Amino acid sequence: MGILKEGELNSFFKFPQPINKKSNMKKLSQKQLKSKGFICTDASEGTEQWVRKISETNFEVYERALNVMNEVDLTKYTDVELESQISAYYDSLEDLRKMYGKDSNMIISECISEQEFN
């Protein structure tokens, strides 16, 4: 295999894609999301995101602005793939895990889902 050219990294890794669960549903209110166990991980206007833990490695991520819900299964990713997915937001997977501790997988899922939204 030769040297990868710019823009070939994602096609080389062939990252698993989050499952787009619902994209034509009625927009959920903050109250509805909280009642369903979602936690707001990004309250920025226009990019408000909510995450709900299904298991230690499986999360639902709701993007309110786009009204899209994704399911992310972290067991489908290698550490190298996870590192690439979070690189736009954090210096390293190790730094993210130190920063968020037991909530790391939730934040990683948000990053993966956000890549899908962009």
pLDDT score of 83: 93
37: CB partners within 8 A, 6+ apart: 52, 53
Alpha-carbon Rg for the chain in angstroms? 15
pLDDT tens-place string over residues 23-61: 567 888 889 999 999 999 888 877 789 999 999 999 999
User: What domain range is 98 assigned to?
Assistant: 27-117
> In angstroms, rounded to a whole number, what is the distance separating the alpha carbons of residues 4 and 67?
35
> In angstroms, rounded to a whole number, what is the distance separating the alpha carbons of residues 32 and 61?
14
Provide the number of structural domains found in the chain: 1
pLDDT score of 118: 59
Q: Specify if 12 maps to a domain.
A: no
Amino acid in the structure at residue 80: V
Q: Specify if 56 maps to a domain.
A: yes
Asked whether the whole model's pTM tops 0.85, one would answer no
87: left (phi over 0), alpha (psi -120 to 50) or beta: alpha
pLDDT tens-place string over residues 64-111: 888 888 999 999 999 999 999 999 999 999 999 999 999 999 999 999
Q: Specify if 8 maps to a domain.
A: no
Q: Specify if 10 maps to a domain.
A: no
- The label of the residue with tokens 């990713």 reads 77
> In angstroms, rounded to a whole number, what is the distance separating the alpha carbons of residues 59 and 81?
17
Q: Specify if 112 maps to a domain.
A: yes
Q: Specify if 13 maps to a domain.
A: no
Q: Specify if 65 maps to a domain.
A: yes
Q: Specify if 101 maps to a domain.
A: yes
> In angstroms, rounded to a whole number, what is the distance separating the alpha carbons of residues 111 and 80?
14
pLDDT at 15 over 80: no
